[in-house]
Amino acid sequence: MDAWWQVVVTAPGEATEGIVNFLWEQGAVGVIEEESPASTPAVRAFFPGTTDADDLAARLRDYVSGLRALGFRVPLEATVSALEDPGWATAWREHFRPRPVGRTLLIAPPWDPIAAAGRHTIVIEPGRAFGTGQHATTVGCLERLEDVVDAGAPARALDLGTGSGILAIAAACLGIIDVLAVDDDPDAVENARVNTEHNGVAARVRCLVADAATVDTGTTPLVLANLLAPLHRRLAGRYADLVAPAGTAILGGILDGEADELEAHVARRGFAPVARLSREGWTTLELRRSAHASLHPRA
Ligand code: SAH
């Protein structure tokens, strides 16, 4: 990809977290928070050249007026501009450093695949599908995954909404021998497939284009799903079909404020809450399906 779009939003610090989340949701491949005591905080985000910049600018304007309506002081500036400087690709790389996650994982870009003692290095090329390992929802899922596997690796796992394949690859690296990675976006599945090869786990991870709402895999002892809360709500009944009795669901992409309600909603489908963690405003839930699933008719 040669050309990129750059978005810069200067805004008061209390609006930064929301702006960062918004930009990720719009498909940014990199989001950088720039803070210095001397100037107003800015958020800088990069979008692939294939992005419709007018459409992005319109969504940005809507979002900014939403912020004003919520009483935030207006961002001083919100711009979308083309970024064709070839040097930028290198500059951008500076922001993707190998990142240790949990106790045993390290997420690294291909240009910096350092080996770290005692850590499984997972190499992901930023900029294709969602799941570079930089986002708090991915980190949260990886941390829960690590703990679940530590307590005894299940034989199989299902990753719903695999994006770059990062969770499926981590599951395989951590010792799960049969992983199915599903996404309804064919580009993401292709990217996941390439990433499983780069990481030497293609034999353990199958990648499939399918909608989580209809995929028919039978039951699996561990289901990972880093999706958004409204989709989890709709899929809650499906989780009861897809997670084996006494199996585990790790659900990410849930804003902290949505966690209680969503957890209760899934629990009503025959799951018990086991653990949760919060990273940068995003909650990851871990639930266990009842061993006696038939005692919990689906509501
Ligand atoms: N698992 C990765 C990516 C999460 S982003 C990580 O944790 O970082 C969510 C992914 O879910 C996207 O790739 C999106 O294409 C996919 N997705 C969204 N709705 C879906 C659905 N109904 N069925 C399957 N995949 C879906």
How many A from CA of 141 to the centre of ligand 1? 13
Q: Is 167 in the pocket of ligand 1 (CB under 6 A)?
A: yes
Q: Is 166 in the pocket of ligand 1 (CB under 6 A)?
A: yes
Alpha carbon nearest to ligand 1 atom 18, residue: 161
Distances, alpha carbon 169 to alpha carbons 40, 60, 105, 166, 209, in Å: 39, 34, 11, 5, 17
- Cα separation, 74 vs 264, in Å, equals 37
Residue-wise pLDDT for 82-123, tens only, equals 876 656 556 667 777 888 999 999 999 888 777 777 899 999
- Cα separation, 200 vs 209, in Å, equals 21
**pLDDT at residue number 44:** 87
Distances, alpha carbon 127 to alpha carbons 8, 35, 65, 185, 253, in Å: 18, 24, 28, 15, 19
How many A from CA of 95 to the centre of ligand 1? 24
DSSP per position, 244-292? EEEEEEEEEEEEGGGHHHHHHHHHTTTEEEEEEEEETTEEEEEEEE-SS
pLDDT greater at residue 289 or residue 74: 289
Residue-wise pLDDT for 131-175, tens only, equals 777 789 999 999 999 999 999 999 999 999 999 999 999 999 999
Residue-wise pLDDT for 225-249, tens only, equals 999 899 999 999 999 999 999 999 9
Give the bridge partners for 105, in sequence order.
101, 120
Q: Is 183 in the pocket of ligand 1 (CB under 6 A)?
A: yes
Ligand 1 atom, smallest distance to 224 CA: 1
How many A from CA of 227 to the centre of ligand 1? 6
Most informative mutation of 25, 101, 183, 214 for ligand 1 (most atoms within 8 A of CB): 183
DSSP per position, 200-248? T-TTTEEEEE--TTT-----EEEEEEE--HHHHHHHHHHHHHHEEEEEE
Q: Do the Cβ atoms of 134 and 162 come closer than 8 Å?
A: no
- Cα separation, 56 vs 5, in Å, equals 10
Most informative mutation of 130, 144, 209 for ligand 1 (most atoms within 8 A of CB): 130
Most informative mutation of 226, 232, 238, 279 for ligand 1 (most atoms within 8 A of CB): 226
How many A from CA of 191 to the centre of ligand 1? 12
Edge to edge, the sheet with strand 220-226 lists 205-209, 178-183, 156-160, 220-226, 243-255, 282-289, 271-279
pTM, full prediction: 0.76
**pLDDT at residue number 299:** 44
Contacts 24+ apart (CB under 8 A), 189-194: 189/162, 191/128, 191/129, 191/163, 191/164, 191/165, 192/129, 192/162, 192/163, 192/164, 192/165, 192/168, 193/165
Ligand 1 atom, smallest distance to 135 CA: 8
